[in-house]
Structure 1
Amino acid sequence: MNILVTGAKGFVGRNLVSQLHNIQAGKAKNEVLSEDLKVYEFDIDSDPAELEIYCKNADFVFNLAGVNRPKEQTEFMEGNFGFASILLTTLKKYNNTCPVMISSSIQATQNNPYGESKRAGENLMFEYSRETGAKVLVYRFPNIFGKWCRPHYNSAVATFCHNIAHDLPIQVNDPAVVLNLVYVDDVVKELLAALSGKENRKGNYCEVSTVYPVALGSIVELLYSFKESRNTLNVPHVGDAFTKKLYSTYLSYLPKDKFGYPLKMNVDPRGSFTEIIRTRDQGQFSVNVSKPHITKGNHWHHTKNEKFMVVSGKGVIRFRNMNEEQGEVIEYYVSGDRMEVIDIPTGYTHHIENLGDTDMVTFMWCNECFDPQNPDTFFEKV
């Protein structure tokens, strides 16, 4: 299958093309496409002669070319209507009636230069369909957010992500304004579905099924919480789909020298304990380092429970049931050579001993974040 993507170097174009290449390389699957597909990439700096070849051979066209922030208002019509006209004329030249998708905007209903140019492009597509019988798919996209979107161009989300990640100020005129947002991966998923005739069509138009109406102030609040999470270790609530997608977007704007951040290591002669992540409702994650032949623990919990996994070194975890007067000592030998999770049940005093001559590293999960006002930890030797 030969797929032509115009505007291939733009925001949506790059995301779509990258996924098509993943399918082409066998790194992703699609029920219609196989590894023998060809992707024709065309953009503003491409040789016009290439468009002739691509329009002659294409089996599907994604027209993502367009203008959002031109220097002159006349460029709106040239970029959003003019190129679409050239594209359709070239397809007709070769009697190619393959399906054609066009990227429009919800602003096509507005009487401004941008909206008028988008509406003109839509009407051109509908007329082309009536004339040739070709299937056309017109998408009136709302605000799209995600990786690779250019800041300070036409996306408030991209600008906010960039500025907050780079310690730059942002301007919010009205935090109550609601943006209707779609995530770029959801857009790509919809476009790939359209290849098999499974587009989400509503009358004459097609749309992405998942739209997030979010107040501008809420977006900014989330973005600042993402930034602060490096200090608090509280990871975002990724169980919420929008929060997860916005966090992924924010991380893509981090400065190249700021991917890493330090953690507080609680160090003593026995080794160290370092908290990695805190969650709102899924507990906390930590790394414990025990020096050779050191024993840590000798305590028990009422409600707090943990999971231990030794990833380096060797040792033993011992337990004794606090509900038994002469409780037996239970032993579990652990090693980084065999990944095994050991549950630490409530009501059992426990400790972990390093049996080796090197540091033992243990990855730990606890069902609740540590609360110094209610530690639920009681000293008792095993």
Structure 2
Amino acid sequence: MLRIAVTGAGGFLGWHVRVLARALGWPEPVVISRGDLFDEAALAARLDGVDRVLHLAGVNRGDPVEVATANVDLAAALARGLRRCVTPPGAVVFANSVQAGNCTPYGDAKAVAAATLAAARPDLIDVLLPNLYGEHGRPHYNSVVATFCRLLAEGRAPQVHEDRQMELVHVTDAAARLLGVPEDGSWDPSMPMLRIGVRELANRLAAFADIYRNGEIPRLVDRHDVRLFNTYRSQCFPAHYPLPLPRHADSRGELVEAVRAHGTAGQTFCSTTRPGITRGEHFHLAKVERFVVLRGSAEISLRRVSEDTVVRFQVSGDEPVVVDMPTMWAHKIVNTGSDELFTLFWVNELFDPARPDTYPERVEAAEPVPAVLA
């Protein structure tokens, strides 16, 4: 269990680093703001004695002069603070880029930043990151994946102006590499890459969106398919939910098509829940999970990890609907009726007790809770 400090904690990579640290059960990171970076004494005090410093702060896009200057200045400020620490941090890690030194303002600034930090800490862990994608990326800024997913979520078609090969890494795998944790869950610090063309990426995401539009689960053949699908779902939530289900009725009764999965393995289970009882209070990093209330009434509530806003859905077996749990959102279901609640759950993978991808987290408050599987 490590105590870490993070610059750029509010960014795309920074949020995923904090989520993974929370899943690991580590203390809340020490967040180093831009203001902290340029207050040398305050910065040294905040960095003093931590186990690991992650330098994620930077500027990726914008005016070329600003991009170059900001990345160098941020690294220089951190280097000054590191030199003033009474008890130096155990390790310093720089989220560098594979573009470092490529004769662009951004690439050259990242190379200078790395050299600046290495002068203060010769044991600097310099991690060259490729293009990152993942849940809640900022469209038109963080990744073409985020941009395509947002367009598809809005019912628009991605436009491919230049088809080229890309190397993509899911941001949780990058976070695991930066945190220095072994592969022991829904992440892989070796950062497995997806090599894919821009047009092929657009077509794959469009196929996911087309199938999911009706609540059906697309075929997910590997870890990158699952994570691309989760990235798309993150751009859909919460506006696209709940999803209505096809219902068929005749003199015998009713039939509800709760899960239609296109060649995707999974596990289905059902539960009964007494009035007033809660199930859930956890989040997942990778698995796709579906809730369908078939009898009774309930409230499904969700909160994005490290944020405060709670999203709530009132659901009933009288009108069955789908609410799929987005990854990295704490969620729970509460029986709000006077009768027993009957709920169908579906996940895209068989439950593995050794790697459950289930992390305790209250929806209404941030403190951890005892593990509950469903």
TM-score by length of 2: 0.64
Partner of 1:184: 171
1:5 and 2:6 are equivalent in the alignment: yes
Corresponding pairs, count: 270
Q: Is contact 2:219-2:264 (8 Å) kept? A: no
1:225 and 2:215 are equivalent in the alignment: no
Using the TM superposition, give the Cα deviation of residue 237 of structure 1 relative to its aligned residue in structure 2, in angstroms.
Answer: 2.5
Structure 2 residues without counterparts, runs of 5 or longer? 183-188, 270-293, 297-341, 347-374
Gap change, CA 1:100 and 1:3, over 3 Å in 2: same
Using the TM superposition, give the Cα deviation of residue 185 of structure 1 relative to its aligned residue in structure 2, in angstroms.
Answer: 1.3
Partner of 2:82: 91
Distance 1:43 1:278 in 2: 46
Aligned partner of residue 16 in structure 2, secondary structure: helix
Distance 1:46 1:252 in 2: 31
**What is the 5 A alignment of 1:227-246?**
227-231=209-213, 234-246=216-228
1:100 and 2:100 are equivalent in the alignment: no
Distance 1:362 1:159 in 2: 35
Distance 2:191 2:146 in 1: 22
Distance 2:242 2:49 in 1: 47
Using the TM superposition, give the Cα deviation of residue 224 of structure 1 relative to its aligned residue in structure 2, in angstroms.
Answer: 1.3
Using the TM superposition, give the Cα deviation of residue 179 of structure 1 relative to its aligned residue in structure 2, in angstroms.
Answer: 1.1
Of the two structures, which has the highest relative contact order with CA contacts closer than 8 Å and spacing of 6 or more?
2
Partner of 1:254: 236
Aligned partner of residue 235 in structure 2, secondary structure: coil
Using the TM superposition, give the Cα deviation of residue 66 of structure 1 relative to its aligned residue in structure 2, in angstroms.
Answer: 0.5
Distance 2:343 2:169 in 1: 41
**Per-residue CA distance 1:279-322 (angstroms, 9 max, x = gap):** 343689999xxxxxxxxxxxxxxxxxxxxxxx879xxxxxxxxx
Distance 2:73 2:33 in 1: 14
**Per-residue CA distance 1:218-249 (angstroms, 9 max, x = gap):** 21112112211235654223341110010011
Q: Is contact 1:277-1:286 (8 Å) kept? A: no
**Per-residue CA distance 1:139-191 (angstroms, 9 max, x = gap):** 1111100112111114101111111101234221134x111000011112222
Distance 2:229 2:219 in 1: 9
**What is the 5 A alignment of 1:1-382?**
1-20=2-21, 22=22, 28-29=24-25, 37=27, 39-44=29-34, 48-49=38-39, 50-70=42-62, 72-95=63-86, 96=88, 98-130=90-122, 135-175=123-163, 177-193=164-180, 208-231=190-213, 234-281=216-263
Aligned partner of residue 139 in structure 2, secondary structure: coil
Paired amino acid for 1:3: I
Gap change, CA 1:44 and 1:363, over 3 Å in 2: closer
Q: Is contact 1:263-1:276 (8 Å) kept? A: yes
Q: Is contact 1:17-1:39 (8 Å) kept? A: yes
Aligned partner of residue 228 in structure 2, secondary structure: helix
Partner of 1:203: none
Q: CA RMSD in A?
A: 3.3
Q: Is contact 2:218-2:263 (8 Å) kept? A: no
Gap change, CA 1:91 and 1:284, over 3 Å in 2: closer
Aligned partner of residue 48 in structure 2, secondary structure: helix
Q: Is contact 2:52-2:90 (8 Å) kept? A: yes
TM-score by length of 1: 0.62
Partner of 1:299: none
Using the TM superposition, give the Cα deviation of residue 97 of structure 1 relative to its aligned residue in structure 2, in angstroms.
Answer: 5.4
Using the TM superposition, give the Cα deviation of residue 255 of structure 1 relative to its aligned residue in structure 2, in angstroms.
Answer: 4.8
Distance 2:104 2:213 in 1: 45
Gap change, CA 1:136 and 1:234, over 3 Å in 2: same
Distance 1:82 1:181 in 2: 28
Gap change, CA 1:286 and 1:40, over 3 Å in 2: closer
Q: Is contact 1:276-1:286 (8 Å) kept? A: no
Name the % identity: 27
**Per-residue CA distance 1:66-102 (angstroms, 9 max, x = gap):** 00113x3222233211111111111112252531111
Q: Is contact 1:16-1:188 (8 Å) kept? A: yes
Q: Is contact 1:273-1:286 (8 Å) kept? A: no
Distance 1:363 1:80 in 2: 50
Partner of 2:289: none
Paired amino acid for 1:60: R
Distance 2:152 2:343 in 1: 35
Distance 1:101 1:184 in 2: 16
Distance 2:4 2:241 in 1: 36
Distance 2:143 2:105 in 1: 18
Distance 1:10 1:121 in 2: 18
